[in-house]
Amino acid sequence: MEENRQRAIITVVGHDTVGIIAKVCTYLADNNINILDISQTIVSGYFNMMMITDLSGKNKHFADISSELEELGKEIGVLIKIQREDIFDEMHRI
Amino acid sequence: MININEVNETNEMIQKENLDVRTITMGISLMNRIDSDVDRLCERVYDKITKKAEKLVSTGEAIEAEYGIPIVNKRISVTPIGLVGASACKSPEDFVKIAHTLDRAAKQTGVNFIGGYTALVAKGMTDEEKLLIESIPEALNSTDRIMSSVVAGSTKTGINMDAVRLMGDIILKTAEATKDRDSLGCTKLVVLCNAPDDNPFMAGAFHGVTEPDVVINVGVSGPGVVKKALEKTHGADFRTLCETIKKTAFKVTRVGELVAQEASRRLGVPFGIIDLSLAPTPAIGDSVADILHEIGEEYAGAPGTTAALAMLNDQVKKGGIMAASGVGGLSGAFIPVSEDQGMIDAAVAGALTLEKLEAMTCVCSVGLDMIAIPGDTPATTIAGILADELALGMVNQKTTAARLIPVIGKGVGDHAEFGGLLGHAPIMPVNTFSCADFVNRKGRIPAPIHSFKN
């Protein structure tokens, strides 16, 4: 459980453009956040990506990462959210 | 591992269907703050509330941010002040001092409401409880965040008609005291039968004497999520309908359970219960009436509404029970009028009457809630409506309550505006035949027989 507490889901939604994944991944690498899994689709021109990440090595507070990702999203023109994984686990797994 | 569709489903519930945790309510016992001097008592009460709840709001906000789920309200409930103030208060003014203290403590901690300005008088009233009840109009007029409740009946004790009659009067006085704000005071005053000790929802929240020193109770919501899920089952049979409601209630409640556990862990306060309720707000798409419409009622209040609501209420409980480690409070669908746009529309269209609402309260939580009535309604008529509602709870062994707002200076056809989560409401007509001779009788209605049920 403690391990799960350190996992977070990052979602990126918006118009598809060059370099979205690169920019998000660079940010995560700079902050020592490990990516465990990525899935991505394009739904009617909209870019839709989900990353499962491990925050155990993070060098910042959750709240700071959250607001910096939001800022980064604004720069790229997409919506980036980070949420702890438990909320999805609780809702979809018995 | 979680997949992208599941993540999207959860986030759509939050972003488009108003999924939220409606309230984290911290119950705080004030039993160990009782004092014979009212000023010292106020000081001790303020001290305990502001210390225990110091981090309640910030913790709630942190959980919101990290999980991406809104927690709409952070609130406090305290031990009924009718008990806490009994040895110190010699007049209604003394009780008002405590009300001001609670209001200050609420503002200091940042919670939007504090419940527990309460008298437990189901069987009889102490002199002090009577003083508290008499202080309610001024207490609600001169504070912003106090919620008041009076428990005037139960299945085990019967109905205290002396208290009911008094409350008819007090509701009108509260309306009069706050008439410049569409009698707003009455939106914060509820009369209950079989009130639970662990209710996180206002206005009836208080921290019962059976509870621990401090506890976290959580109320979940999600009418919009249920409605959206039902849209996909258009025309399906009842089995499919019920399964869909249960599954949705399960998902919604699991989020509540997670938030409750997390809040309890971070605050170092034991977790009490989850209140499995469909609590609407005036926001579009956050309506219990809209669910009834989706089930097949043209408007809430049309024939079949009581049956549809009974089914909805039961499925929400069946789905939610398994998702929660402890269930309590009111647990059911709320049917307030002013706080639910679909109910407001139904009342305006003439589909929903006070009498139909009364029938609906037999099968769901909680009662006649947030109903604006003409300001010239006599106190005895209000008491009669209260008595009817309490009788339903008493006989059916369930919580019932009435939160009626006689809007001074307004009548049928007018509209009352309460603002924010309290919403707005059309003034609904009240049966004008008199019940004065009935409610003016002294004493109480005895407890009902507990066998031979028909």
Q: How many structural domains are present in chain A?
A: 1
d(CA A38, CA A81): 14
Q: Is A27 exposed, middle or buried (0-12, 13-18, 19+ CB in 10 A)?
A: middle
Which of A4, A41, A46, A90 to mutate: most B Cβ within 10 Å? A90
Could you tell me how far CA B110 lies from the centroid of its own chain? 20
Return the pLDDT at B96.
98
pTM of the model: 0.93
- Per-residue pLDDT of chain B (454 residues), as tens digits, is 889 999 999 999 998 888 999 999 999 999 999 999 999 999 999 999 999 999 999 999 999 999 999 999 999 999 999 999 999 999 999 999 999 999 999 999 999 999 999 999 999 999 999 999 999 999 999 999 999 999 999 999 999 999 999 999 999 999 999 999 999 999 999 999 999 999 999 999 999 999 999 999 999 988 999 999 999 998 999 999 999 999 999 999 999 999 999 999 999 999 999 999 899 988 888 999 999 999 999 999 999 999 999 999 999 999 999 999 999 999 988 999 999 999 999 999 999 999 999 999 999 878 999 999 999 999 999 999 999 999 999 999 999 999 999 999 999 999 999 988 899 999 999 999 999 999 999 999 999 998 887 6
User: Does pLDDT of A1 surpass 70?
Assistant: no
In the block, which residue shows the tokens 């028909």?
Answer: B454
d(CA B162, CA B440): 8
Strand pairing category for B113-120 and B71-78: parallel
The string over B339-374, giving b where at least 16 C-beta atoms fall within 10 Å of a residue's C-beta and e elsewhere, is bbbbbbbbbeeebbbbebbbebbbbbbbbbbbbbbb
d(CA B308, CA B289): 11
Return the pLDDT at B192.
97
pLDDT > 70 in chain A, percent: 95
- pLDDT digits 0-9 by tens, A34-88: 999 999 988 777 889 999 999 998 888 999 999 999 999 999 999 999 999 999 9
- In terms of residue numbers, what domain contains A56? 2-92
Cα–Cα distances in angstroms (integers) from residue B46 to residues B28, B83, B145, B212, B244, in the given order: 11, 16, 14, 19, 46
CATH number (domain holding residue A11): 3.30.70.260
A89 touches B: beta carbon within 8 Å: yes
In the block, which residue shows the tokens 């809702």?
Answer: A91
Beta-carbon pairs below 8 A across chains A and B: 62
C-alpha angle B217-B31-B158 in degrees, rounded to nearest 5: 75
Name which of A48, A63, A87 is nearest B69 (Cβ-Cβ): A87
A1 touches B: beta carbon within 8 Å: no
HSE, CB side, 13 Å, CA atoms: give it for residue B366.
31
Nearest-CA residue of chain B relative to A85?
B67
Spell out where B142-285 has E strands.
Answer: 146-154, 158-160, 189-193, 214-220, 271-275, 277-278
Q: What is the domain partition of chain B in residue ranges?
A: 21-193, 219-445
Yes or no, beta carbons of B65 and A63 under 8 Å apart: yes
The yes-or-no answer to whether B21-193 and B219-445 have a common fold is: yes
Domain B21-193 class in CATH? alpha beta
Return the pLDDT at B226.
94
What dotted CATH number matches B219-445? Answer: 3.20.70.20
Collect all residues with Cβ–Cβ distance below 8 Å to B161 and sequence separation of at least 6.
B387, B439, B441, B442, B443, B444, B445
Q: Which chain A residues have a beta carbon less than 8 Å from that of B2? A: 9, 52, 85, 88-89, 92-93
